[in-house]
A and B are shown apart, each in its own frame.
Chain A
């Protein structure tokens, strides 16, 4: 019980601190904090359409959250989810445009495999560099982000890919074999909002990743590598390989953002479609303490904040969307004090002989 309840409690405290500080700022800006919370709530969950949009953000945030979390378990800090998801989305669009006339069934299978492979490869480069050449993954993933966006910027200008119907920097529309949004019952349910059935992936992944990390040998080896590389090696594990595997899985998770975007939302690659999902994913993973099962709710929460932020601009006089970013930042900061908080609570419980029966 302590193992689950304590982190839950301290996470709740950090959330509360974020909202509290947000409210204080709102009060200073001459706005009623309750009104602000109400705006964010309504904007995020107010109607089926709003909920759908929130789920669309939650989908991408959860996937990048997994990406960061899995790498964390191997002791790696993956800042490259942004580049991985950009590469994956771009590649799905390119492959889709190259083979336009396949059956929708095959189209989906191709999309999934291309998305996961492209993401995994992009992250794998950083993993290999780290494991066998000691190149720090923070540096190399940041570099790979920049390379990915530069590569996309260039590819998008090629006449074979470029959409000439409007001036946006985007690829042409994929055929209906890939762009299956029209046949998606969830799209209709959410009143044509950006979300799609791809949201189901994140629930499946939560269970799969939990089982993998905590119930398999490889998962154990990855966690052992993350906790103490030398000990893992002495115990006969292969930390280098584990790091590469962790990065491959991380990349594949981030790559799956492409499914929701290309197959489920726009049917094309739009340069800069992601409002830095990759970086928000770091915050999501932190909030969820890298626990796969906790990531979907954490992502949902950040999605509400992200979605609600836009309406702050419209509905209030003095508050802009930046307040939502402030709340997110405070939540992440307060999470860093939660180990200390948990220690204090534990000490208190021991001193007062709470939970002695356990």
Chain B
């Protein structure tokens, strides 16, 4: 009995000692901490696409201001160079390398096992690995919401969808949008176009404009553009025709005030900021993180540029749909789970 008591005392003593040591170590660590270095690889749209990549860049620059990290960003101008650039960052012992967009998947898959001490974050695709975190978004939920809003604002009962690159990710937007529009009016027509099939589709405003104009001329009055920098073509078209457009990823309401119904927010900025914060405080977690309506990782934008579309009634309706999706009362079809 006495022995047991002694042992437990000894154990607890050891325990407190070690925790002290731990705390001390943590304190000295944070005192002598060098700012972490973050490499950001943007996809073809580039940091000025006012959409997907702009959001990522915004998140990273916020982190730079708030945390004093060292940030370097690179735009992938050709697909072959992504892996080389990722390796360059890793070889230069960057603490965190963030790949924006699914085009980086193969590169992360190949490079991350070679540099176990470097952390990798990947947006929009999943890669397993002890040093990789995959950041995914529930795009279909937000698309459902803006689809419903589009249907409420369509006089001709015809809404449009303009996708960037013809890939499963954007089909996910499309499916949610269609379901949302049909939930308001089952007979509504949804016209669908994609800008292209390779990554240049994210940055082809000229073609996007042609497609949008064709849709508007055929009687469509609201188009949801999920096309990265190509959305600028949609905005040119909406200015010419004075109809309505819906922006994507970043808040794009300001681009054409009064003509942008809303923007489906995909808070890539928040995701990027979060992952940098976690890495900075040494709490980087490998695995998959999903952002949805509940945590405001996905949302729709209301501000001074589009408040005229949000009457009390519309706001109430939208809020109800949103809560229903969060509560699971509305099941939004998911292209990934088809």
Please name all residues of chain A whose beta carbon is closer than 8 Å to the beta carbon of B166 when the two chains form the complex.
157
Please name all residues of chain B whose beta carbon is closer than 8 Å to the beta carbon of A43 when the two chains form the complex.
88
A167 touches B80 (CB 8 A): no
**Contact A321 to B198, CB < 8 A, known contacts A167-B167, A168-B106, A314-B88:** no
Considering the complex, give the chain B residue whose CB is closest to the CB of A168.
Answer: B103
Interface residues on B, range: 20 to 34
A169 touches B125 (CB 8 A): no
Chain A, range 261-299, C-beta contacts under 8 Å to B: 270-276
A271 touches B72 (CB 8 A): no
* Residue in A168, A273, A276 whose beta carbon sits within 8 Å of that of B105 in the complex: A168
Please name all residues of chain A whose beta carbon is closer than 8 Å to the beta carbon of B281 when the two chains form the complex.
none
A169 touches B198 (CB 8 A): yes
B198 touches A272 (CB 8 A): yes
- Point out which of A166, A274, A307 has the most chain B C-beta atoms below 10 A from its C-beta: A166
Q: How far is the CA of A321 from the CA of B73 in the complex (A)?
A: 12
- Point out which of A167, A270, A275, A313 has the most chain B C-beta atoms below 10 A from its C-beta: A167
- Point out which of A49, A272, A276 has the most chain B C-beta atoms below 10 A from its C-beta: A272
Q: Does A310 make an interface contact (CB < 8 A)?
A: yes
- The interface on chain A, measured as residues whose beta carbon lies within 8 A of the other chain's beta carbons, has a size of 26
Q: How far is the CA of A43 from the CA of B84 in the complex (A)?
A: 10
Please name all residues of chain B whose beta carbon is closer than 8 Å to the beta carbon of A153 when the two chains form the complex.
196-198
Q: Does B310 make an interface contact (CB < 8 A)?
A: no
Q: Does A31 make an interface contact (CB < 8 A)?
A: no
Q: Does B39 make an interface contact (CB < 8 A)?
A: yes
Chain B nearest CB, measured from A102 CB (Å): 26
Please name all residues of chain A whose beta carbon is closer than 8 Å to the beta carbon of B39 when the two chains form the complex.
314
Chain A, range 6-38, C-beta contacts under 8 Å to B: none
Considering the complex, give the chain B residue whose CB is closest to the CB of A322.
Answer: B77
Chain B nearest CB, measured from A264 CB (Å): 13
Give 30 CB contacts A-B under 8 Å.
Answer: A43-B88, A49-B87, A153-B196, A153-B197, A153-B198, A156-B197, A157-B197, A166-B102, A167-B102, A167-B125, A167-B167, A168-B103, A168-B105, A168-B106, A169-B198, A270-B79, A271-B197, A272-B78, A272-B199, A272-B200, A274-B78, A274-B80, A275-B77, A275-B79, A310-B88, A313-B73, A313-B75, A314-B85, A314-B89, A314-B92
